[in-house]
Amino acid sequence: MIHETKIIEGTWDLTTYQWKIESDALDLFVKGLKDKKILGRKCHKCGTVYVPGTTYCRKCFIDIDQIVEVDQEGVLDAFTVNLADVKGTLVEHPYITCTVKLKGSDSFLMGILEGWTDWRSVKEGMKVKVVWKDITQGALADLSHFQLI
């Protein structure tokens, strides 16, 4: 049993910006996935790169439109080892869901982590890479998983 608490600091201030639904971020993201690229948007003021590419900067509260491609390798951030199903029954094959920070991005992507044999050996900061489906269709599932390297 591992006892660990991680504090993730952040802000959620909705008072200084007109809130809007951002389908553009997801549209850009899946468009890139079809070509096996990870696309985001970069703030021209502070340089923050968002993946998926939001249409405004969460720090500067300004619209952003500079599209950038980030690296397909990065580091493992937070992760959860799934040893049981929702009813608490142990699963035969545990799996790991994770967040990954790709090189060139300041935000995180979620996915499944593969390439490990003992989940106890998986640590934050390990290097990972994107693994694609053989045939991409412009859908979130095009990004098959993240692989330890």
| Binding status of residue 43 toward Zn ion by CB under 5 A | yes
CB of 62 to Zn ion, least distance (A): 6
Instruction: Take residue 27 and report the two structure tokens written for it.
Output: 């549209």
Task: List the beta bridge partners of residue 133.
Answer: none
Residues 49-108 that bind Zn ion (CB under 5 A): 57, 59-60
Instruction: Take residue 147 and report the two structure tokens written for it.
Output: 């692989």
Task: List the beta bridge partners of residue 131.
Answer: 145
CB of 15 to Zn ion, least distance (A): 17
- Do residues 55 and 24 make contact, with C-beta atoms less than 8 angstroms apart? yes
Binding residue for Zn ion, selected from 26, 27, 35, 46, defined by CB under 5 A: 46
> Using CA atoms in the order 111, 33, 129, 57, what is the torsion angle rounded to 10 degrees?
-70
Binding residue for Zn ion, selected from 34, 36, 45, 127, defined by CB under 5 A: 45
Instruction: Take residue 119 and report the two structure tokens written for it.
Output: 């989940």
Span near Zn ion by CB under 5 A; candidates 47-55, 72-80, 108-116, 141-149: 47-55
Binding site for Zn ion (CB under 5 A): 43, 45-46, 48, 57, 59-60
